[in-house]
Chain A
Amino acid sequence: MNLLDIRNLSIVLKSATNPILAVDRVSLTMKEGEVRGLVGESGSGKSLLAQAIIGVLDEKWHVDADRFHWRGKDLMRLSVDERKAIISKDVAMIFQEPMACLDPTMTIGMQLTEAVDGEQLTGYFWQKNQQRKETAISLLHKVGIKQHKICLKKYPHQLNEALCQRVMIAMALAKRPILLIADEPTAAMESTNQGQIFRLLASLNQLKNMSILLISHDLENVTHWTNTITVMYSGQFVEAGTTKHIFEQPFHPYTRALVDSSPKSNSGLPAKSRLMALPGSIPILQHLPIGCRLGPRCPRAQQACVIAPKVTNYHGHQFSCHFSLKGSY
């Protein structure tokens, strides 16, 4: 059974004059124990999608989906409170910019003990405080912080970014989630620290069978750590498939361009030669093209592209394009 099954999820920014379709019919499925990458450039709606999954979008946004199942339960039909209970129990999220997301007025210890789930504690009420502290310490050990005594007393600004990110992960793990959504966990981080964080997430996936939805703007950063990848562009679904397929035989022109533009795939090219790049830039939300939103930048665009293409499935490799590269391999 799929852990998370989303079909045709749309997110609309409500406004009196013209509502904006920020995310346009995106599908996403996650199996248990899977690491899925969600890749898209800035403004592609990947963070919005993550926020819609955990349900923290505010009144301005309207979420609609054909199917929104969490382990077989239809979340769209539940009341807000029921939904909150299920999601907060099973899903955790690591937000972007760990320094900004931790409370600057509280020590790490206070924030971490606050995050510990009261239901997991066994004991009388006078023992609970002590147990909370012990749980917090063991959480810190789990994410690879050995000097818990120093770390618990510090304020977020006294720690560096990688340590803050580890604390965020520890807080996310406190509820023992089944699905962890990591929204750009390594943005603006040194490459050494990036490796550490990714290795930590990978080991959690292996040891605890925790599914991870890894959100990133850079395709090449996540390829090493994911089993499957979903690519989005400007709020539309582009392509989904195994990492190997996406990287070696992308069917969609946009994925092809992403793969070609990464320095990794160009290591065979002579130095200082021109890289392959799509012309133009990402459209802003107020001026979205009709039909396939890649249209104006796409090298293969034709007249039919003014109608948004349907998702085609080919041996588990989904893509949405009228003129895919499928025949060229």
Chain B
Amino acid sequence: MPILLQVNNLSKSFRIGRKWFNQKYFTALEPISFEVQAHHTLAIVGETGSGKSTLAKLLVGAELPSTGSIKLNGQTLQPGDFKQRCQHVRMIFQDSGTTLNPSLTIGQLLNEPLQINTKLNEEDRHCLIRETLQKVGLLAEHMNFYPHMFSGGQKQRISLARAIILQPQVIILDEALASLDPSLRSQMINLLLDLQEQMGLAYILISHNLGIVRHFSDKIMVLSKGQVVEMGDTAKILSRPKHQYTKKLILNQRFQLLHR
């Protein structure tokens, strides 16, 4: 299996205070390296402030890294080159309701990334939007609807449609499943797994529900205070955690994983 995404020594630190002398830095993410293959899912778990959202922002290009590089298919993704990155790395956020522009119809919403990133003419764009909506389990007529007309689960599907419409290779799910109702969540998981099979997507899943992580991911990375505590196969690590922090994390969610 070819390696899709390769991250080398990526780190991020923020400057605190405005003093010119005696500058202090807060390291949100210590240098980390990892690889993700096509068709695979990497899960990132950790508490608040462990740097998992920072990592997601770095990967998608919303923040500039302090050190390190990100390679996609062996090609370096330049920090600041959004054209290249928008096509290949997309992100879905936790609260889908607030990330959709309420004054645009779904058709206009999905048209925007196509207009900016591709050279398709209007007819082709229309066809592609229609196709993508059907792919995520919505109807083509939904194109003329506004976001407020949809339920929470459907809104999450629209953000997924927006993510996959440019045929990306990597999708980052930042707590995208946390706010959904359980029956919709399993629908969404099924949909994501189907798309992964069809399109060969690689997912980076940020979640604190270890039950989902166990089901959904191949590899797991445990972050604590910006450092990688443990990394490896999901099943192995969740059944035999080595580090104290991972053990604590699993113990805290024991009531979610164990049968009564």
Q: Which positions 225-257 of chain B face chain A at CB distance < 8 Å?
A: 234-235, 249, 252-253, 255-257
Task: Determine if B182 and A191 form an interchain contact, defined as CB atoms under 8 angstroms apart.
Answer: no
Q: Is A223 an interface residue (CB 8 A)?
A: yes
* Of B57-65, B78-86, B117-125, B149-157, the one touching chain A: B149-157
Rounded to whole Å, the gap between the CB of B215 and the closest CB of chain A is 5
Asked if A192 meets B187 with Cβ closer than 8 Å, knowing A217-B181, A263-B214, A267-B257, the reply is no
A257 CA to B253 CA, complexed, in Å = 22
Task: Determine if B184 and A281 form an interchain contact, defined as CB atoms under 8 angstroms apart.
Answer: yes
Q: Is A244 an interface residue (CB 8 A)?
A: yes
Task: Determine if A275 and B252 form an interchain contact, defined as CB atoms under 8 angstroms apart.
Answer: no
Task: Determine if B187 and A277 form an interchain contact, defined as CB atoms under 8 angstroms apart.
Answer: yes
Chain B residues with CB under 8 A of A41:
181-184
Among residues of B, the one whose C-beta sits closest to the C-beta of A220 is B256
Task: Determine if B193 and A272 form an interchain contact, defined as CB atoms under 8 angstroms apart.
Answer: yes
Q: Is A24 an interface residue (CB 8 A)?
A: no
Q: Is A271 an interface residue (CB 8 A)?
A: yes
Task: Determine if A281 and B151 form an interchain contact, defined as CB atoms under 8 angstroms apart.
Answer: yes
**Residue-wise interface mask of A (213-236) relative to B, using a CB-CB cutoff of 8 A (1 in contact, 0 not):** 000011111011100000000000
Q: Which positions 30-66 of chain B face chain A at CB distance < 8 Å?
A: 47-48
Q: Which positions 208-263 of chain A face chain B at CB distance < 8 Å?
A: 217-221, 223-225, 243-244, 247, 257-258, 261-263
**What would be 19 A-B contacts, judged by CB atoms less than 8 Å apart?**
A42-B152, A188-B178, A191-B208, A191-B209, A191-B210, A191-B249, A223-B260, A224-B255, A224-B260, A225-B255, A261-B186, A263-B256, A271-B216, A275-B189, A275-B215, A277-B190, A278-B183, A282-B181, A284-B151
Task: Determine if A262 and B211 form an interchain contact, defined as CB atoms under 8 angstroms apart.
Answer: yes
Q: Is B185 an interface residue (CB 8 A)?
A: yes
A residues near B (Cβ < 8 Å) are: 41-42, 188, 190-192, 194-195, 198, 217-221, 223-225, 243-244, 247, 257-258, 261-267, 269, 271-272, 274-279, 281-282, 284
Q: Is B212 an interface residue (CB 8 A)?
A: yes
Rounded to whole Å, the gap between the CB of A205 and the closest CB of chain B is 16
Task: Determine if B208 and A244 form an interchain contact, defined as CB atoms under 8 angstroms apart.
Answer: no
Task: Determine if B183 and A277 form an interchain contact, defined as CB atoms under 8 angstroms apart.
Answer: yes
Among residues of A, the one whose C-beta sits closest to the C-beta of B46 is A190
- Total B residues in contact with A, Cβ cutoff 8 Å: 39
A223 CA to B256 CA, complexed, in Å = 9
**With contacts defined as CB atoms under 8 Å apart, how many contacts are there between chain A and chain B in the complex?**
103
Among residues of B, the one whose C-beta sits closest to the C-beta of A258 is B182
A3 CA to B209 CA, complexed, in Å = 35
Chain B residues with CB under 8 A of A224:
255, 260
Among residues of A, the one whose C-beta sits closest to the C-beta of B178 is A188
Q: Is B259 an interface residue (CB 8 A)?
A: yes
Rounded to whole Å, the gap between the CB of A69 and the closest CB of chain B is 31
Rounded to whole Å, the gap between the CB of A217 and the closest CB of chain B is 6
Task: Determine if A218 and B182 form an interchain contact, defined as CB atoms under 8 angstroms apart.
Answer: yes
Rounded to whole Å, the gap between the CB of A245 and the closest CB of chain B is 12
Chain B residues with CB under 8 A of A265:
259
Task: Determine if A261 and B252 form an interchain contact, defined as CB atoms under 8 angstroms apart.
Answer: no
Task: Determine if B47 and A258 form an interchain contact, defined as CB atoms under 8 angstroms apart.
Answer: no
**Residue-wise interface mask of B (190-213) relative to A, using a CB-CB cutoff of 8 A (1 in contact, 0 not):** 100100000000000000111110
Task: Determine if A264 and B184 form an interchain contact, defined as CB atoms under 8 angstroms apart.
Answer: no
Rounded to whole Å, the gap between the CB of A40 and the closest CB of chain B is 9
Task: Determine if A263 and B212 form an interchain contact, defined as CB atoms under 8 angstroms apart.
Answer: yes
Asked if A191 meets B153 with Cβ closer than 8 Å, knowing A42-B181, A275-B215, the reply is no
Task: Determine if B211 and A220 form an interchain contact, defined as CB atoms under 8 angstroms apart.
Answer: yes
A309 CA to B75 CA, complexed, in Å = 62
Task: Determine if A269 and B183 form an interchain contact, defined as CB atoms under 8 angstroms apart.
Answer: no
A244 CA to B259 CA, complexed, in Å = 10
A221 CA to B210 CA, complexed, in Å = 12
Asked if A191 meets B252 with Cβ closer than 8 Å, knowing A42-B181, A262-B182, the reply is yes
Rounded to whole Å, the gap between the CB of B181 and the closest CB of chain A is 4
Asked if A266 meets B47 with Cβ closer than 8 Å, knowing A247-B260, A282-B151, the reply is no
Report the 9 A-B pairs with minimum CB-CB distance, sorted nearest first. Answer: A263-B211, A224-B255, A261-B186, A41-B181, A275-B186, A277-B186, A277-B187, A278-B183, A195-B252
Rounded to whole Å, the gap between the CB of A269 and the closest CB of chain B is 7
